Amino acid sequence: MNDFLNCSRRDFLQLAGAGAVGAAAAGSATTVSAALSAGPAVVVHDPDFAVPPDFTAGLATTVVALNGDPVRLWRDGLKSQVASGGALYGLTLWADLLIFQGLATELRRHVRVVRQDAQTGRFAWMIA
């Protein structure tokens, strides 16, 4: 695995903080720090993409493998967790990111951070 795949939660949150600064500058009412403190985090990942153990350390986190339809997964529980203020993290392909982005937009939640691994084509992202 490369450095991207072994990104620690701290490194990712630092990027999220940078995203929050950009969102605040754009006038967004929801900040990353508020989303992280308001509710539990959920990590959705491509089953071929293992979640690094230190990525979820220290968070009240549920890790869910994306085996099938992302819309069904959203309606079966992710929507309520995000609506209650939790952050949604993803380690997925671009198509799955776009689907979750569209679904989260209905709740006025937006993508705050996106990183792409050039070697695998997978994306690490956060919606808050």
Residue 76 CA to residue 104 CA, distance in Å, equals: 14
Q: Which residue has the higher pLDDT, 54 or 126?
A: 126
* Alpha carbons 96 and 93: distance in angstroms, whole number: 6
Q: Is 54 helix (H, G, I), strand (E, B) or coil?
A: helix
Q: How far apart are CA 83 and CA 94, in angstroms?
A: 23
Domain ranges of the chain: 9-127
* 43-97 pLDDT tens trace: 898 888 777 777 666 666 788 889 889 999 999 888 988 888 888 999 899 999 9
Instruction: Tell me the three state secondary structure of residue 12.
Output: helix
Q: What is the pLDDT of residue 36?
A: 46
When pLDDT is averaged across residues 96-114 and rounded to a whole number, the result is: 93
d(CA 79, CA 123): 21
State both tokens at 95. Answer: 């198509």
Check residue 52 and report its DSSP letter: P
pLDDT at 77: 86
C-alpha angle with apex 43: 12 to 53, nearest 5 degrees?
65
Count the alpha carbons within 13 Å of 110 in the hemisphere toward its beta carbon: 14
Q: What percent of the chain has pLDDT over 90?
A: 30
